[in-house]
Every structure is written in C-alpha cells, then in structure tokens.
Amino acid sequence: MLRRQQMRQAAAEATARAQRATATTCSLCEREVQHTSRHHLVPREEGGRYGDTVDLCQPCHSSVHRFLTNKELAQHYQTVEALRTAEELQDYLRWIRKNKVEKIRNRRGSN
C-alpha cells in the first residue's frame, strides 16, 4: 500500500515537472503559458521579414495586432519594451496579467 502511494506521488511530481518544463514565458505580459508564437517586431509586410522576433502568447499576439496597425508597429514599437509602453495596450496588459487565459478571440478593427 505504501509503495503504491509512493509510486503515485512520484508520477504526480514527474508530471508537474514536465508541465513546468513545457511552460514558457510570454515576452509581453511575462506570464508563464503553455504555447507562444513568434511575433516579428517589425511586421514582415513593413520590411521585417528577417528582423528581430519575440515569443508572445496567443492572447498578446492577437491583441497587439488588434490594437496596433502594422505601420504603427514598424514606426513606433520595434522593441518589446516599446510595446509594453503602448498606450493602446495598457488596459489589456493590466487585464491579462491577472488572468490565466491561454486563448482569446479578437478581431482587428476596421479602420
């Protein structure tokens, strides 16, 4: 009986370690998340095809493109530090840092 409990506990600890190992950090909101995607700091359409990239969680990546145009990203937000200070993202960043959201659905506004 004790042996089974030890085996279950060891399996649970191994699972927790594996989950922590697969978790990664979003460069924008700085939360630990399961998945990230590569965001071109200068959008490819604006000449950033081979430029710097950062790993963003899906909610942050979607929101960056929801609130900022590619032209704005290329001209004013070429670093992750600049993105963190973008006025358009402040309400979103305050909200996302308090939530454990892994997926969000937002659509780009029609401007």
Instruction: Write the CA distances from 84 to 54, 71, 73, 88, 91, integer angstroms.
Output: 13, 17, 12, 10, 11
Q: What is the largest CA-CA distance in the chain?
A: 66
Long-range Cβ contacts of 36-40 (<8 Å, 24+ apart): 37/61, 39/64
* 7-28 pLDDT tens trace: 777 676 666 555 555 669 999 9
| Element spanning 36, H or E | none
Band (48; pLDDT cuts 50, 70, 90): confident
pLDDT at 15: 64
Distance, CA of 95 to CA of 28 (rounded, Å): 13
pLDDT at 100: 87
Mean pLDDT of 47-55: 91
pLDDT at 18: 59
| CA dihedral sign, ordered 86, 80, 41, 92 | negative
The closest alpha carbon to 60, from 17, 95, 110, 14, belongs to 95
Task: Say which residue, 44 or 4, is predicted with more confidence.
Answer: 44
DSSP 8-state symbol, 44: G
